[in-house]
Amino acid sequence: MFRRTRALRDPVTIHLDGSPVRAERGEPLAASLLAEDKIILARSPKLHRPRSASCLRGGCDGCLMRVDGAPNVMTCLHATAGGERIETQNVVGSRKADLLRVTDWFFPNGIDHHHFMAGVPALGSIMQSMARKIAGLGRLPSEIEATRPARLLEADAVVVGAGLAGLVVANRLGASGARVVVVDDGLSLGGSLLALPDQTSRLESLRLTGDLVFSRSTVAGSYLGDLLVASEAGAVVVRAPIKVFATGAHDGVLAFPGNDMPGVFSARAVCLLHAYGIEPDGPIVVVGDDLWSDELSNRFEDRVLRFGVSALAGVEGTGHVKRVLMRDGSKVRRLDAEVLAVGVPGAPAFELAAQAGAEVRFDPARGYVVACDENGAAGEGIWAVGECTGMDFDPDAITAAAERCADAIIA
């Protein structure tokens, strides 16, 4: 399904269910596994359908695995260091042959495990015991995690999200003399720019470092006006009068039979894999007309079979995609392909800004977006910029919007 386009620059070895796997230091664990054709990474709760990475931004459950004894690790957000012991979780049997998959065949329309056989003497308690095994995820960690410290950090402004929009705002505010905290959950700063090699110079010009920059960290929520940050070193409570949300958008998905099957990716995720030096080794069916769909068409040219959204009828396969079904008039064509890339508008990541007090509005084409004026003002001391406000990912347009936002904050 995938292959590497270049020799490993800094090779290391990781282990998947006890077997060695070669990898590149620094790339996401999920990418390392995909590059070696380890497609099935996880199993869904309850029905135990095969799962794999599909967005590579921590927005789905397809890459949850047990890493070095810790359950439910998002392997797309875990940098490969070498030596990791990775295990498939939530299986009875193996990663490829999970015996509990029979629940999907016995209950094709789903199963309400909370009420199944409830109240039936003896059988009810047995069923509930089984339900805990069927519907669970990972087992508890192998070791008790050490307590980590918490601290308070005060600043003039905090920027959540270090993609293009967040980096532009943070740099501009920093240049004005403001003390700016930046928080991002990615392996490295840059967001979607990392999937665009032709934007390397732009990204280099925006690079941030210092003890106020928290990468691989998550804002867990807004409480009494402060932001709670979960970082690798511990908890940080960030207190700042200016909060800028540049949280981007969740990759768009489509409703069609088999849309959760390994081999279905967002077009942006396939572009990101390509930037890591990993590409599909066969034809790629691309559905959609966004920037990422155009990128794939330009990069892979005659290997791309491109269609409009309305033509997609579904996919076929067992463990992963084998064929993509496309409507052709009154008929359905079966295309032999193992990778389907979906390029449709994303769903703005409005949730954190809304919790902090920002107004939101409903956009029929995208869902809820952060409501703000042309400068990004979204509430008292709250600002928003980029895709979370409903913008398309257009580097030039987002840069301009971020500059206006920063200038308005400074003014």
360, containing H or E segment: strand 360-363
Q: How far are the Cα atoms of 170, 373, 404 from residue 407, in angstroms, in the given order? A: 11, 14, 5
CATH code, residues 2-134? 3.10.20.440
Is CATH 3.40.50.12240 the right assignment for the domain spanning 264-343? no
Q: If pLDDT is split at 50, 70 and 90, which confidence band does 111 have?
A: confident
Predicted confidence (pLDDT) at residue 83 exceeds the cutoff of 70: yes
Name the DSSP letter for residue 93: B
Mean of pLDDT values over 204-218: 95
Rounded to whole angstroms, the Cα distance separating 148 from 165 reads 31
Q: In sequence order, what are the residues at sequence separation of 6 or more whose Cβ sits closer than 8 angstroms to the Cβ of residue 294?
A: none
Identify whether the C-beta of residue 391 lies closer than 8 Å to the C-beta of residue 401: yes
Identify whether the C-beta of residue 381 lies closer than 8 Å to the C-beta of residue 305: no
CA 270 to mean position of chain CA atoms: 12
Which of 88-97, 128-137, 300-309 holds the top average pLDDT?
Answer: 300-309
Q: Which residues is 295 bridged to in the sheet?
A: none
Q: Which of 13-17, 124-128, 267-271, 333-337 has the lowest mean pLDDT?
A: 124-128
Parallel, antiparallel, or unpaired: how do β-strands 150-154 and 157-160 relate?
A: unpaired
Rounded to whole angstroms, the Cα distance separating 197 from 395 reads 13
Instruction: State the residue for tokens 């957000």.
Output: 77
Q: If pLDDT is split at 50, 70 and 90, which confidence band does 82 have?
A: very high
Domain pair 2-134 / 150-249+347-410, same fold: no
Identify whether the C-beta of residue 278 lies closer than 8 Å to the C-beta of residue 3: yes
Rounded to whole angstroms, the Cα distance separating 367 from 348 reads 7
Residue 332 is which amino acid? V
Question: Each residue of 27-60: pLDDT tens digit?
Answer: 999 999 999 999 999 999 888 999 999 999 999 9
Rounded to whole angstroms, the Cα distance separating 395 from 411 reads 24
Domain boundaries, the chain: 2-134, 150-249+347-410, 264-343
Identify whether the C-beta of residue 406 lies closer than 8 Å to the C-beta of residue 169: yes
Identify whether the C-beta of residue 341 lies closer than 8 Å to the C-beta of residue 287: yes
Mean of pLDDT values over 317-344: 96
Tokens representing 367 are 């869902």
Q: If pLDDT is split at 50, 70 and 90, which confidence band does 113 have?
A: low
pTM of the shown model: 0.93
Predicted confidence (pLDDT) at residue 394 exceeds the cutoff of 90: yes
Nearest one of 328, 331, 313, 326 to 258, comparing CA atoms: 313
Is CATH 3.50.50.60 the right assignment for the domain spanning 150-249+347-410? yes
Q: Which residues is 340 bridged to in the sheet?
A: 264, 285
pLDDT of res. 45: 85
Question: Each residue of 264-275: pLDDT tens digit?
Answer: 999 999 999 999
Nearest one of 84, 114, 115, 104 to 22, comparing CA atoms: 84
Q: If pLDDT is split at 50, 70 and 90, which confidence band does 126 have?
A: confident
Q: How far are the Cα atoms of 4, 65, 292, 373 from residue 182, in angstroms, in the given order? A: 33, 28, 26, 23
Rounded to whole angstroms, the Cα distance separating 32 from 34 reads 6
Q: Which of 108-122, 276-290, 294-308, 336-350 has the lowest mean pLDDT?
A: 108-122
